[in-house]
Amino acid sequence: MPWNVWILFCWVVPILGSWGPIDMPFSREMTSAEGENVVQLKWGYDRDMQEISIEIQTPLASWVALGLSPDGKLNASDFAVTGWNKEDQQFFYDAHVEGEWPPVMDKSQDYELLKLDRNETHTVLRVWRKWFTCDSHDLEIENDTIRVIVMHGEDRDFTPSEENTYRKSFFFLEIFKGIIDAEILLLYEFRLKDFPIPDQDTTYACTFIPMPNVTTKHHIVRYEQIIDPDSVGIVHHILIYFCGNNLNFSSEVGDCYGNDPRYAKCMNAVLGWAVGGENFDFPADVGISIGTEEDPKYIRIEIHYSNFEKKQGILDSSGVRIYYTPELRKHDGGVMMTGIFTFPVHFIPPGAELFRNYGLCNTNLIPQMLNKPVEDFHVYGYLLHGHLTVRSIRTMHYRNGTLIGSLGEDKKYDFNFQQLRDLPGFITVQMGDQIMVECSSSTPDREGVTFGGPSTLNEMCVVFLFYYPVVPVAACLSILDIQHVNDALELDEADNLMDAVVNISGADWDEETTAKAQNAIMEANHTAMLMHRTGAVINETSSAIPISLPSPHPCHKHTDYD
Ligand SMILES: *[C@@H]1O[C@H](CO)[C@@H](O)[C@H](O)[C@H]1NC(C)=O
Ligand SMILES: *[C@@H]1O[C@H](CO)[C@@H](O)[C@H](O)[C@H]1NC(C)=O
Ligand SMILES: *[C@@H]1O[C@H](CO)[C@@H](O)[C@H](O)[C@H]1NC(C)=O
Ligand SMILES: *[C@@H]1O[C@H](CO)[C@@H](O)[C@H](O)[C@H]1NC(C)=O
Ligand SMILES: *[C@@H]1O[C@H](CO)[C@@H](O)[C@H](O)[C@H]1NC(C)=O
Ligand SMILES: *[C@@H]1O[C@H](CO)[C@@H](O)[C@H](O)[C@H]1NC(C)=O
Ligand SMILES: *[C@@H]1O[C@H](CO)[C@@H](O)[C@H](O)[C@H]1NC(C)=O
Ligand SMILES: *[C@@H]1O[C@H](CO)[C@@H](O)[C@H](O)[C@H]1NC(C)=O
Ligand SMILES: *[C@@H]1O[C@H](CO)[C@@H](O)[C@H](O)[C@H]1NC(C)=O
């Protein structure tokens, strides 16, 4: 579109009216570079007023467009467009993309310009908006991953260029409870040493590493990832599992899901990093206990490598660095995995726009396994984990059969942006409560059934809950009654679980079969399982719980993933 046509759309606004938006302090600042293209993004929000302000700084440009995309694509993205026209007058307007670039102006103008500035090297834009605007062309700012697209140009038309386009996922409404207040802070690293990464798609490398040699109780208060520069892009996740002390540990590196039965005895993931994640500070009154008799003497490190480019000869020394202190905090923290037990009874048919799977945690199994009364859990953080088909994850909290809240969710889950997130407060989970994890998947381009499994191309659906006070429990998961699905689809009689899986894999998947399978999954009973830190498992049969949907904001636009 030529510039003179664009002039017609230009919206010349006075900077900062005397009403409405207020400049909020920024809570966060991030600088990302892609080659020469250094973009800085800052933001701040007001939870009570449900407002956000965002500032971006780009290399010198005559126009800048800040976009919030529903799925990472340009189409249907919500843009604030600004710059200077030929007469050097500022323009600014709220817009959206309809099919193709450039964006068209929204009927309802919901962004406010707080600042537009440039000097010889940079352009800076700061905008303000309500989280919910009631304009269907505006993306809602919610507790979800938001895919930001920033574009800029110097040439005074809106020609997009890949070099001047910047894309990244953010979680704007983040909360930081973490704090480091210790005077004595010790460091220790759990990492591999020059592990040769195989030239295959998926490798899970495991080994045992001793805990720091402390003979009195200490608290881990922070951890950081260490990604070997040579393996950036190949290291997909790193998990540190606490082990029971009933094992013979050794230092060779093996296949986590191979034949070494010892790995299955260290199942309590306590520290972790996945693509897109960052460092984590535990809340001020919580630390992970090490050094007592009951605490593990060893950990198992698990590194998942995704080497789809089949790169050869890379030696990897990635891992996790912990900060620990003898200055004890009030509570011992723990981590419990909830969701679907990773096994092929978790399946998603091919060609599905939306398919939901459920994993159930029956917390009544916890006192049962430990054989003593257990205090309520105070949950303060969560990490959602699924693979490539997962579009949204919800962690539903039930008490006595009634949905009472959420323990963490993301309606726009991004596999490449997995982050441990704090909850606004501490949520109490009473023993006896049920936790249901829902993963909504989409498989329009897949040919065969996707099954649960550790490979990135298989699927997982788990949520790690960060809570205190700790109990030696690793996971609270379920598998559904796959026979019921087999029967509902009127497949051949299956004698056992694996036969049913084979039958489902071979079924004729069309829209009707998919709908029947979805229905069967919603009504199927589950086998709820609880896994001890040492790998021991107990289970019970559990009937399905009715799934309720949360009531959305009045301006909320319905999406498939609700
Ligand atoms: C763009 O998005 C709209 C709304 O989501 C959709 O109806 C339309 O089909 C999309 N167009 C293209 C070209 O993808
Ligand atoms: C230009 O603006 C950027 C962003 O505000 C600032 O960091 C930089 O120092 C400025 N340069 C000069 C020469 O003032
Ligand atoms: C975000 O999540 C928190 C905690 O689950 C909840 O209290 C809050 O209402 C949510 N806000 C929105 C806009 O969904
Ligand atoms: C741990 O520390 C104690 C005392 O500080 C020492 O005697 C012992 O040898 C150490 N153990 C290891 C494995 O380094
Ligand atoms: C550990 O190794 C020792 C000696 O090889 C053996 O006697 C013992 O049974 C092993 N313990 C376990 C738990 O495997
Ligand atoms: C659970 O619900 C039943 C039936 O509504 C009621 O009798 C019971 O007291 C409830 N239990 C709790 C712990 O709220
Ligand atoms: C279903 O499973 C049964 C038992 O293993 C087997 O005999 C049958 O061939 C399977 N049917 C299909 C369609 O795979
Ligand atoms: C769930 O289990 C109950 C009790 O065993 C049983 O009556 C019911 O038929 C089961 N439901 C399904 C869908 O299999
Ligand atoms: C449940 O536990 C029993 C033993 O208590 C075991 O036989 C059964 O295989 C377990 N079920 C599952 C699905 O793991």
Backbone angles phi, psi at 173, to 5 degrees: -85, 35
Respond yes or no: is residue 188 known to be catalytic: no
Query: What's phi and psi for 239, nearest 5 deg?
Result: -125, 140
- Atom from ligand 3 closest to the CA of residue 406: 5
For every one of its 562 residues, what pLDDT tens digit does the chain have, with 9 covering 90 and above?
A: 444 434 334 344 434 433 456 677 888 887 776 666 788 999 999 988 999 999 999 999 999 999 999 999 999 999 999 999 989 999 999 999 999 999 999 999 999 999 999 999 999 999 999 999 989 999 999 889 999 999 999 887 788 888 889 998 999 998 888 888 899 999 999 999 999 999 999 999 999 999 999 999 999 999 999 999 999 989 988 999 999 888 889 999 999 988 899 998 898 999 988 777 788 999 999 999 999 999 999 999 999 999 999 999 999 999 999 999 999 999 999 999 999 999 999 999 999 999 999 999 999 999 999 999 999 999 999 999 999 999 999 999 999 999 999 999 999 999 888 888 999 999 999 999 999 999 999 999 999 999 998 888 899 999 999 999 999 999 999 999 999 999 999 998 888 999 999 999 999 999 999 999 999 999 999 999 999 998 899 999 999 888 866 556 566 655 544 4
| pTM metric for this prediction | 0.89
Question: Does the beta carbon of 143 lie inside 6 Å of ligand 3?
Answer: yes
Name the closest-CA residue to atom 10, ligand 8.
525
- Start-to-end CA distance of the chain, whole Å, equals 37
Pocket lined around ligand 7, Cβ cut-off 6 Å: 491-492, 494-495, 499, 502-503, 506
For residue 295, give both structure tokens.
């605490």
Closest residue to atom 11 of ligand 3, CA basis = 143
Does ligand 2 lie within 6 Å of residue 502's CB atom?
no
Residue carrying the six token digits 């788990």: 462
Among the listed residues 190, 68, 208, the one whose alpha carbon sits nearest the alpha carbon of residue 129: 68
Query: Could you give the dihedral angle defined by the CA atoms of residues 306, 310, 316 and 319, in that order, rounded to the nearest 10 degrees?
Result: 0
- CA nearest ligand 2 atom 7, residue: 122
Nearest CA to ligand 5 atom 5: 248
Cα–Cα distance measured from residue 99 to residue 89, given in angstroms and rounded to the nearest whole number: 29
In the three-class reduction of DSSP (H, G, I as helix; E, B as strand; rest coil), residue 499 is classed as helix
Which among 228, 231, 195 is positioned nearest to 311, based on CA atoms? 231
Q: Which of 539, 540, 541 to mutate to test the pocket of ligand 9 (most atoms within 8 A of CB)?
A: 539
204: annotated active-site residue? yes
414 Cα: distance to centroid of ligand 8 (angstroms): 35
> Strand pairing of 218-226 and 319-325?
antiparallel
Nearest C-alpha neighbor of 482 from the set 529, 447, 517, 442: 517
Among 188, 204, 298, 323, the one annotated catalytic: 204
Per the listing, tokens 């910047």 go with: 166
